[in-house]
Structure 1
Amino acid sequence: MNGRLKTEKQTASLFFILEGSDSMVDSVNRMTGFASGMDINQMVRDLMDAERQPLQPMQQNAVETQLKIDEYREMNRRFSEFRNDTFDGVLRRSNMQSRETTSSNESALSASASAATPEGTYTISDAVTAKSERRTSDFGTTNGTGDGGSFLDDAGAFDRRSSFLTQADNVKGLDGTETELSFALAVYDENGDQQTTSFSFDATDSLDDIVDEVNRSGAGVQLFYDDFSGRMSMQRSDTGVYSEGGKEIRFGTMDGETFAEADDGALSTVFGFSNNDTVETEASNASFRLNGLDAVERRSNTFDVNGVTMTLNQDFTEEVQVGVSSDTDRIVDTVMSFVEDYNDMVETTQDKVSEEYFRDYAPLTEEQRRELSESEVELWEERSNSGLLQRDSILQGAISNMRSQFYETVDADIPNQTFNQIAELGITTSSDFRRGGVLEVDEEQLRAAVEEDPESVYQMFAADGDTPAEQGIARRLRDTLDNTITQIGERAGRTDLAANQSFTLGRELESQEDDISNFERRMQQVEDRYWSQFTAMEKAMADANSQMQQLMSQMGGGGQMM
Structure 2
Amino acid sequence: MHMRLTGFASGMDINQMVSDLMEAERQPMTKMQQDQQELILKMGEYREVNRAFMKFRDDTFDSVMRSSNMVSKQVSSSNEGLVSGTAASGTANGTYTISKVEQLATAAYNFSAGDGENGSFVSEGELDPNESLFAQNSKLFVDVPNSEFKTGLTTFDENGDKVSVTFTFDQDGSLNDILEEINNSELGVQAFFDPHSQRVSMSRTDTGIHNPGEGDEMLFQAYVEGEDGELEVVEEDHFNLFTSVLGFSEGNEEGAENAKFTLNGLETERQTNDFNINGLNISLKNQFDAPVTLSVSNNTDDIFDTVMGFVDDYNELIELVDGKVSQEYYRDYAPLTEEQMRDMSEREIELWEERAHSGLVRNDRMLTGALDRMRQDFYGHVETGAENQAFSLITEIGITTTSNYQDRGRLEVDETALRAAIEEDAESVFQMFAADGDEFEERGIARRLRDTLSGQIEMLSERAGRSEMASNQQFTIGREIDQAAERISNFERRMEQVEQRYWRQFTAMEQAMAQANSQAETLFSQLGGMGQM
Q: Same fold judged by TM-score > 0.5?
A: yes
Q: Does 1:231 align with 2:199?
A: yes
Deviations 1:458-511 (A, max 9, x none): 111111011001111111111111111111111111335252222221121111
Whole-angstrom distance in 1 between the partners of 2:264 and 2:335:
76
Q: Which among 485, 499, 504 is matched to residue 513 of structure 1?
A: 485
In 2, are the aligned partners of 1:111 and 1:309 still within 8 Å (CA)?
A: yes
TM-score in terms of structure 2 length: 0.94
**Counterpart selection for 1:216 from 184, 199, 204:** 184
Whether 2:501 is the aligned partner of 1:546: answer: no
Native 8 Å contact 1:413 1:465 kept in 2: no
Letter in 2 for 1:137: S
Shift of 1:201: 3.6
Does residue 1:396 correspond to 2:368, yes or no?
Answer: yes
- Structure 2 match to 1:254: 224
Deviation at residue 271 of structure 1 after TM alignment:
1.3
* Correspondence for 1:532: 504
**What residue is the counterpart of 2:434 in the other structure?**
462
Q: 1:461-500 alignment to 2 at 5 Å?
A: 461-500=433-472
User: Does the 8 Å contact 1:286/1:300 carry over to 2?
Assistant: yes
In 1, the alpha carbon distance for the partners of 2:169 and 2:23 equals 90
Change (3 A) 1:384 1:202: farther
1:139 to 101, 114, 130: 114
What residue is the counterpart of 1:4 in the other structure?
A: none
> RMSD in angstroms over aligned alpha carbons?
1.9
Asked which structure has the greater CA Rg, the reply is: 1
Shift of 1:407: 2.2
Distance between the aligned counterparts of 1:434 and 1:161, measured in 2? Answer: 79
After superposition, the Cα gap between the structure-2 partners of 1:137 and 1:64, relative to the gap in structure 1 and judged at 3 Å, is same
The total of aligned residue pairs comes to 525
CA apart distance, 1:555: 4.9
Q: Report the counterpart of residue 242 of structure 2 in structure 1.
A: 267
Alignment partners' CA distance in 2, 1:210 and 1:545: 114
Does residue 160 (structure 1) correspond to residue 137 (structure 2)? The answer is no
* Alignment pair present for 1:347 and 2:319: yes
Distance 1:61 1:201 in 2: 82
Which range moved further: 447-456 or 264-273? 264-273
| Separation in 2, partners of 1:496, 1:42 | 47
> SS where residue 23 of structure 2 aligns?
helix
Q: Using structure 1 for the length normalisation, give the TM-score.
A: 0.89
Structure 1 residues 373 and 183, CA gap change in structure 2 (3 angstroms)? farther
Alignment of 1:40 with 2:47, yes or no, is no
Amino acid aligned to 2:206: D
Instruction: Measure the CA separation in 2 of the matches of 1:83 and 1:147.
Output: 71
Written as runs of structure 1 = structure 2, the 5 A alignment for 1:230-309 is: 230-243=198-211, 244-251=213-220, 252-256=222-226, 257-260=230-233, 262=236, 264-275=239-250, 277-279=251-253, 281-294=254-267, 296-309=268-281
Contact 2:398 2:413 in 1 (8 A): yes
Q: Which residue of 2 aligns with 1:377?
A: 349
Query: Are residues 265 and 559 of structure 1, via their aligned partners in 2, closer, same or farther at CA, if it must alter by over 3 Å?
Result: farther
Q: Find the aligned partners of 1:480 and 1:225 in 2 and give their Cα distance.
A: 65
CA contact (8 A) 2:328 2:358 kept: yes
Tell me by how many angstroms 1:147 deviates. Answer: 6.6
Residue 112 of structure 2 aligns to which amino acid in structure 1? S
Give CA deviations for 1:376-401 in whole Å, capped at 9, x if unaligned. Answer: 21111111000001000011111111
What CA deviation, in whole Å up to 9, does each residue of 1:182-210 have, x standing for no partner?
42111112332211112234455433333
| 8 Å CA contact 1:253, 1:264 repeated in 2 | no
Please give the secondary structure, in 2, of the residue aligned with 1:377: helix
Q: For 1:142-181, what per-residue CA distance to the aligned partner results, in whole angstroms no more than 9, with x for missing partners?
A: xxxx7752122345x4333344433333333336x62556
- Whole-angstrom distance in 2 between the partners of 1:70 and 1:88: 28
Alignment-mate amino acid for residue 117 of structure 1: T
Consecutive unaligned residues in structure 2, runs of 5 or more: none
Other structure's SS at 2:390 match: coil
Task: Report the counterpart of residue 24 of structure 2 in structure 1.
Answer: 50
Amino acid at match of 1:151: F
Q: How many angstroms apart in 1 are the aligned matches of 2:106 and 2:149? A: 31
SS at match of 2:27: coil
The one-character-per-residue Cα deviations of 1:1-30 (angstroms, maximum 9, x if unpaired) are xxxxxxxxxxxxxxxxxxxxxxxxxx5311
Q: Residue 11 of structure 1 corresponds to which residue in structure 2?
A: none
Sort the Cα spacing of 1:546 and 1:496 in 2 relative to 1 into closer, same or farther, 3 A: farther
> What corresponds to 2:79 in structure 1?
105
Change (3 A) 1:549 1:182: farther
1:173 and 2:142 equivalent?
yes
Q: Offset of 1:248 from its aligned partner?
A: 0.9
Find out whether 1:64 has 2:34 as its counterpart: no
Distance 1:163 1:346 in 2: 73
Distance 1:410 1:179, change over 3 A: same
Per-residue deviation at 1:56?
0.5
Q: Deviations over 1:194-230 (max 9, x none)?
A: 1111223445543333322211222210102111000
Cα distance change on mapping 1:547 and 1:339 into 2, 3 Å: same
Percentage identity across paired residues of the two chains: 52
CA contact (8 A) 1:122 1:323 kept: yes
User: C-alpha distance in 2, partners of 1:394/1:451?
Assistant: 40
Aligned to 1:150: 120
Pair 1:170–1:525, CA change in 2 (3 A): same
Q: Does 1:123 align with 2:97?
A: yes
Q: Write the letter of the residue equivalent to 1:193.
A: D
Check conservation: 1:90, 1:474, Cα contact below 8 A: yes
The answer to whether the Cα contact below 8 Å between 2:90 and 2:279 also exists between their aligned partners in 1 is yes
Provide the C-alpha distance between the structure 2 equivalents of 1:187 and 1:339, rounded to a whole number of angstroms: 55
Q: Is the 8 A contact 2:150 2:166 kept in 1?
A: yes
* Shift of residue 542, structure 1, vs aligned partner: 1.7
2:418 match: 446
Which letter does structure 1 place at the counterpart of 2:314?
Y
| Paired residue type of 1:395 | L
The alpha-carbon distance between structure 1 residues 225 and 53, as it changes in their structure 2 partners (threshold 3 A), is: same
Deviation at residue 259 of structure 1 after TM alignment: 4.0
* Whole-Å separation in 2 of the counterparts to 1:158 and 1:28: 101
For residues 150 and 342 of structure 2, what CA distance do their matches in structure 1 show? 83
**Partner of residue 90, structure 1:** 64
* 509 and 165 in structure 1: CA distance in 2 versus 1, 3 angstrom threshold: same
The 1:496–1:528 alpha-carbon spacing in structure 2 relative to 1, beyond 3 Å, is farther
- How many Å apart are 1:245 and its aligned residue? 2.7
Q: Give me the whole-angstrom Cα distance separating, in 1, the residues matched to 2:341 and 2:150.
A: 82
Could you list the runs of 5+ residues in structure 1 that have no partner in the other structure? Answer: 1-26, 141-145
- After superposition, what is the alpha-carbon deviation per residue over 1:233-269, rounded to whole angstroms, capped at 9, x for unaligned? 1111111112123111012232333142646221222
Using the alignment, how far apart are the partners of 1:450 and 1:414 within structure 2? 17
Residues 172 and 549 of structure 1: CA distance in aligned 2, closer, same or farther (over 3 Å): farther
